[in-house]
Amino acid sequence: MTVRMLTIDTVVPETVIHQEDVTRLFAEQPGMNRLGSRLVRSAFGGAGVATRHTVLPELGLAAATAPHDAARAPQADAAPSPFVDPATGHLLSPGTHARNQLYTQNARELFVTAGRAALESTAPGITAADVTHVVTVSCTGFFAPGPDVRVAKDLGLPADVKRMHLGFMGCNAAFPALQAAATACRADPEAVVLVVCVELCTLHLHVRNDTDTIMGNALFADGAAAAVITARDVPAPGPTMELVDFETTLAPVGEEELAWSVGDEGFEMILGTYVPRIIDDHVSDALAPLLERTGERVPDIGQWAVHPGGRSILDKVESRLGLAAEQMAPSRAVLSEVGNMSSATILFVLERLLSAGMPGTVAAMAFGPGLSIESALLRLVPARDGRG
């Protein structure tokens, strides 16, 4: 049975922040000491990020006016913000409750917007009435009834649609979501699964001098992505991706190097400097079972979708696997243009490959807390006679 991803659609918030602006903003905050400011400039400059998106317009305005200029900065009578003092342009540190309220308000809209876009891309072959399963993914906030309920109700899906939410799994959570979708389709050839990932990472930015926080501030961004997956033989809008096989591996070391926890002032990211080295040491072994089962070899796989957790991670994967620069180009472009949006990011990379429409095997992988390495093999099939 062939299970296909018919479409991938991505959505980003309107507010764009430019890396050079946000570098100045964080480096010149009152809470930063001299060493911290140097670390900000080094980490932000070497992150491989040029622009990102955020659901916080005030963050974009503060970045664009840093260093503080009274003539250009927001005025004291501007709309109140829990993140930015409008009189000074200084960043604030709201509590977890305030951050999660903003997550609830903004994530609901993005879940629905991304899901609707994916379904509209597959119409008339697939419509809302055809959806049998919804899988939602997020690690940057919580609310209940959850995103799965919101997507089902706001998109007018059948009342008996089967729902699953994968929460707090981190940057590689799109893989278990896609695997759950493939399992549902293999169990029921008529199944249609809508997968939606939404992450609002900028809600958890902090002004601190420690390396982990600074690196997170340099990389993370907001975005959403959705995909429609089915085994039905229906028209598709263009090229499709067959879901061939999946693999998951827990590295024997590194659990303390990549972690995500709930603090009093938002969620706390641990992004240790040894993560790229751990990935370098274990990525080949993590891929081995997948390649053995499918009979593929790394040199024979033309297209790669590697989660851009940071430039150094991409560098290590490229070097260890002997990949060419052009094979890493989609991942590096996503990192540069929209940053690291946690679980949604790999779908942004896959969307680029799907849009390019080059047929052949695609290897995808991402890394998350644990330290866990998720991977998949997909097969990109070009459109045929108006059908994907």
Give the DSSP H/E element, type plus range, for residue 267.
Answer: strand 266-271
For the record, the structure tokens of 374 come out as: 């998720």
Residue tagged 């951050």 (tokens)? 99
- Ranges of H-type helices in 208-295: 211-219, 275-294
CA distance 260 to 124: 41
- Measured between alpha carbons, how far is residue 344 from residues 195, 198, 307, 337, 348 in Å? 10, 6, 10, 14, 7
From 305, 340, 266, 310, select the one nearest 12 (Cα to Cα): 340
Which residues are designated catalytic? 171
CA distance 335 to 333: 5
CA distance 251 to 230: 32
The type of residue at 363 is: A
List of residues 6+ apart from 40 with CB closer than 8 A: 23, 26, 27, 32, 214, 217, 218
CA distance 165 to 114: 16
